[in-house]
Structure 1
Amino acid sequence: MDLTVVAYVIYLLVSIALTVWVARTLSRNGRIFLADVLHGNEKLADAVNHLLVVGFYLVNLGFVALYLNQDEEILNARGIFEALSTKLGVVLLVLGVMHLGNVYVLNKIRRRGVMEREQMPPVAPTDWVAPAAGA
């Protein structure tokens, strides 16, 4: 069997496994964060979480597929390791950037919600009192 094909198979198996693992981790732990961002609306948090996971899969698996081709033929075991280290390193960086981008956007949304909550008085006013004459 051609060593380039072996490298392709290993690259796909590891890349897809890493993508699935990161997506599941983000989904499981991100749900709590989303519920806070969305003011405790659990159904909306679950829906947004699912949409984010689907988008994450589409972008990352699309990148893995596009980055599959190898320009040079692999002739030995050393070539397999060199090709895999480069390809998997780039995939890991893309996964990390996608994760940080998601966290950044969600944190911006969360901060906006916190600021909106802080601008509201804790108790609604019940009456108006005229200022004293000497004040």
Structure 2
Amino acid sequence: MDYTVATYLAYLLTAVPITIWVAATLSRNGRVFLTDVFHGEDGLADAVNRLLVVGFYLVNLGFVMLYLRGGGDVADLTGLLETLSVKIGVVMLVLGVIHFVNVMVFSSMRRRGRAEADRARQAAAYQQQVYAQYPAQPRR
């Protein structure tokens, strides 16, 4: 077995478990956030969470597989370590960017949902104020 094949194996044996660990961590800790975004609707939050995990796996494992071949031939142990560190570093950066984008999207959804809820509360309070000015009319 040459160093290029050893690099591929080491890369896959490192990148795939990292991707699985990140997906599990995001799923477990993101559930609370999604429940808040979807106003306590646990079923909807769980469904979206599962869909996000599937998408996360597809995008990241697809990237890991596509990036496997890049880097050229590896001639020695030093080249193996250098190539492996670049590949794993790039995978981790991609994982981080995708996570950051997800957090930004759901934060904006959360802000928008809270703003809509605040507007609805303000409208209800205004209606109560307006109607409180007029006494109830007796029914005939």
Verify same fold: TM over 0.5.
yes
Q: Which has the higher helix share?
A: 2
Count of equivalent residues: 130
After superposition, the C-alpha distances for 1:85-123 in whole angstroms (9 at most, x for unaligned) are: 111110000000000010000000000011011112265
Change (3 A) 1:117 1:70: closer
Question: TM-score when scaled to structure 2?
Answer: 0.88
Q: Which residue of 1 aligns with 2:133?
A: 129
Secondary structure at 2:128 match in 1: coil
Matched, 1:20 2:25: no
Q: Which residue of 2 aligns with 1:81?
A: 81
Distance of 1:74 and 1:46 partners within structure 2? 44
Q: Which residue of 1 aligns with 2:67?
A: 67
**Structure 1 spans left out of the alignment, 5+ residues:** 131-135
Amino acid at match of 1:22: V
Question: TM-score when scaled to structure 1?
Answer: 0.91
Q: Percent identity?
A: 54
Secondary structure at 2:39 match in 1: coil
Alignment RMSD, CA only?
A: 1.5
Q: Runs of at least 4 residues of structure 1 off by over 4 A?
A: none
Q: Which residue of 2 aligns with 1:133?
A: none
Distance of 2:73 and 2:61 partners within structure 1? 24
Q: How does 1:110-125 map to 2 (within 5 A)?
A: 110-121=110-121, 125=128
